[in-house]
Structure 1
Amino acid sequence: MEQEVKLTAPDGDTLEQISLDADILKRCNGAPWTAKPLVTTYLDTPGRALLAHGFGFRFRIETQTQRWQACLKGEGNIVDGFSVRQEWEQPIDGPVDRLSLLPEGPLRQQVLTLAPGGEFLAPLVETAFLRRLLLLTLEEGCIMELALDQGEIRAGGKTLPLFEVELECKSGPTAPMLRFSHALRQRYPLIPSWTSKFALGLTLLTPRP
């Protein structure tokens, strides 16, 4: 189960300011920011069987290490940027073009429950961004991962800029993370995100009147 807060930033300068924030850095126990470029492709069957059940499916590659990962996520409920969603992740050797070709495991079992035919996959949305990560220790034993994402979302020959802050509770209670999110919004022009990267990409595929 994934527990996270997504906040949208207006530009890269805001993300840079957050990365240098002394109040944040004092909570990281001296560990530095790490950075990794990520390219993600969101896919579905031709009939969009996974979307019909409220799930998004993706292949993601960390371009520096060439490590691939498959992930299935539920929509969940988003309140003030905070969401709790079902999530299945699995390392893979590379992308496949049919759900039935996924390696054995809980993720494959779940997607075949949603799309029993193990159908072909078609790409819908792509994201490409640099993710900066910092692990923070908050009150009450909450361990939180802070991610700063900067790049773009692509679909249907169109693009959207991406400037996003993600807070994910790795262990402990979520209340300290929510307080941290509120404090961050008091200091920077961040707004709660009500949609995922995938959902934003799907808007590019919707014809405008």
Structure 2
Amino acid sequence: MNAEIELKLFFLPIYQQSLINKLDSLDNSVPQGLRRLANGYFDTPDLQLRQWDMGLRVRGYDAHREQTIKTAGQVIGGIHSRPEYNVTIQADSPDLSLFPREIWPSNADLISTQAQLVCIFHTDFYRRAWHVQIDNSVVEVALDIGEISANGRQEALCELEFELLSGDTEALLKLATQVASVVPVRLGKASKAQRGYRLAGQSQPLDLTVLEFLPLAEHRETAAADLTASCQSLLEIALERWQLLESMIAEAHTPEACVALWWRMRACIRLLRMTLSQFALLDATLLSQFMQIEKQLDFIEPAQALTALLGSQYRLFHRQPQSRQLKPQLQLDLDDIKLDEQLNLLWQQPEYGQLQLAVVERLLKVSAGDLGINKLTSLRQHADSVLQASWRAIFEVMSVNNAMASKNYQQAATVLDESILVGQAYGSLYDVKSRDTFRAPWLDLTLGIKTLACYSALNNAGHKLGIDLHEWLDDKQQSLLFAMESTRHNAIQQSGYW
């Protein structure tokens, strides 16, 4: 049995040669040649192995055949660790009896399972490999180019795997960071098996339940342990959801659904930045990377307004005599954003993968205890402090002494969004009724700000068409602003629940 520890990165096909050049040029890099690997993944029709959290494949290369089964493991950040068992065979189909008996569940019927095995999907690719010595560790780097196929459907495969052959796990990240410094890459959450099952229609569509509040817990052995565990939990949740939302964006079917996913993905990125800052783990370089990526997501607000007007919020202007003229212009404005290109544009930024790897590095150090959280406060005191800080930030941009216009609200949107995220991160630690009562008007204001953005998008569209919507929009905005100002004054006068 081998304990496979690896880091997987995805990349766009256009960067294949750049990656080869970079890996060839690394110090202490020994090329291992090019090999074609043909892989069949097996399971029963009712996916019994999948239910046992196992993956079974037969790999062929040259005249060699090998069956491999991977059992349940864990993922921390982007580091995958799974026990695997390999057996050389002569046939093209696996023989379960060749694996150790102790790996199977106690009630497993191996004879029945063996009889039902069928090939669910194939992954066929060319693998170019290198062995790289880094510090006192040895890492195998494998660049895989090919395709996954199932039921007559194909999906491109472009992956870079860093597998630890000996030494310290940190070597994976160090080497991956060297590669990411010159070639755009990104963390790869989905394994070949996971992607294959999806392509074969043997897994549920990608989905991610909205987390209203993050699950934090108090009362470990020490206050420092509480804080360390909470920091780790916040980073793990946000990083994992970032990767999954990225995949969901790639598969989104409608523009409005796509923008909603972008909104949630940016929230994960902001939560990572804020968590690292709150635990004093955010240096100037990392902050700069965060801000650069978040700046590239500025298209989200205008895209959200336009997709809403063309979809769920069409009622905002459908009774306007000029609605038939406005709708095509709104569509042109949305087309100008090039929503379907934004993900690839982001993936072409080296800073994107660099940021992900930097977050994984800090997460691993926190989980290993190498970045001790040395505060003497309890988790509850820490949460009180960050909630109070976010409350002060709201006061600075929404002072009760000043009236706010549409522009002021939209400028304050980011601060309000971050304050709500802080409440989501630590809200599970507080009384439900007082917490929810406090948050309700602020959530109402975020909806109001989105509606104001819709009115701004309508105004821009009207201006381009030479249609004067000023009087109608002013009436709509003033009515909404009156309600929002009342909500804001009531919200500010509340006492904090922390």
TM exceeds 0.5? yes
What secondary structure is seen at the aligned counterpart in 2 of 1:50?
helix
- Structure 1 segments unaligned to the other structure (5+ residues): none
Shift of 1:48: 1.5
Pair 1:37-2:36 in alignment: yes
Distance 1:66 1:182 in 2: 36
Pair 1:25-2:18 in alignment: no
Distance verdict in 2 for CA 1:131–1:68, change over 3 Å: same
Amino acid at match of 1:42: Y
1:137 to 133, 136, 140: 133
Shift of 1:114: 7.4
Name the counterpart of 1:6. 8
Pair 1:164-2:166 in alignment: no
Pair 1:47-2:46 in alignment: yes
Q: Is the 8 A contact 1:142 1:177 kept in 2?
A: no
Q: Is the 8 A contact 2:139 2:171 kept in 1?
A: no
Shift of 1:24: 4.3
Amino acid at match of 1:44: D
Shift of 1:184: 2.0
1:70-122 CA distance string (max 9 Å, x none): 0001242333431111111111112336634xx4x53x663586742322211
Q: Normalising to structure 2: TM-score of the pair?
A: 0.38
Distance 1:114 1:16 in 2: 49
1:122-171 CA distance string (max 9 Å, x none): 111100000001101001x1000010000000112211001100000000
Amino acid at match of 2:44: T
Q: Is the 8 A contact 1:133 1:145 kept in 2?
A: yes
Distance 1:194 1:204 in 2: 16
Structure that is richer in strand per residue: 1
Select between 184-193 and 90-99 the one with higher mean Cα deviation: 90-99
Distance 1:176 1:98 in 2: 36
Q: Is the 8 A contact 1:50 1:115 kept in 2?
A: no
Distance 2:104 2:151 in 1: 25
Matches within 5 A, 1:79-94: 79-94=76-91
1:73 to 70, 75, 80: 70
Distance 1:24 1:113 in 2: 50
What secondary structure is seen at the aligned counterpart in 1 of 2:181?
helix
Distance 1:75 1:112 in 2: 12
2:172 to 164, 168, 177: 177
- Structure 2 segments unaligned to the other structure (5+ residues): 206-252, 254-498
Q: Is the 8 A contact 2:24 2:31 kept in 1?
A: no
Distance verdict in 2 for CA 1:172–1:127, change over 3 Å: same
Q: Which has the larger radius of gyration?
A: 2
Distance 2:65 2:20 in 1: 27
Question: RMSD of aligned C-alpha atoms?
Answer: 2.3
Name the counterpart of 1:61. 60
Distance 1:98 1:73 in 2: 15
Name the counterpart of 1:117. 110
Amino acid at match of 1:183: Q
Distance verdict in 2 for CA 1:148–1:113, change over 3 Å: farther
What secondary structure is seen at the aligned counterpart in 1 of 2:31?
coil
Name the counterpart of 1:15. 16
Distance 2:59 2:23 in 1: 32
Name the counterpart of 1:154. 149
Amino acid at match of 2:195: L
The total of aligned residue pairs comes to 199
Q: Is the 8 A contact 1:79 1:194 kept in 2?
A: no
Shift of 1:183: 2.9
Amino acid at match of 2:17: E
Amino acid at match of 1:128: D
Distance verdict in 2 for CA 1:35–1:114, change over 3 Å: farther
Q: Is the 8 A contact 2:58 2:94 kept in 1?
A: no
> Percent same amino acid among aligned pairs?
27
Distance 2:59 2:94 in 1: 14
Amino acid at match of 1:148: L
Distance 1:174 1:154 in 2: 32
Name the counterpart of 2:187. 192
Q: Is the 8 A contact 2:143 2:161 kept in 1?
A: yes
Q: Is the 8 A contact 2:43 2:119 kept in 1?
A: yes
Distance verdict in 2 for CA 1:116–1:123, change over 3 Å: same
Amino acid at match of 1:56: G
Amino acid at match of 1:9: F
Amino acid at match of 1:110: I
Distance verdict in 2 for CA 1:192–1:178, change over 3 Å: same
Distance 2:139 2:105 in 1: 32
Distance 1:115 1:35 in 2: 39
Q: Is the 8 A contact 1:50 1:114 kept in 2?
A: no
Select between 80-89 and 91-100 the one with higher mean Cα deviation: 91-100
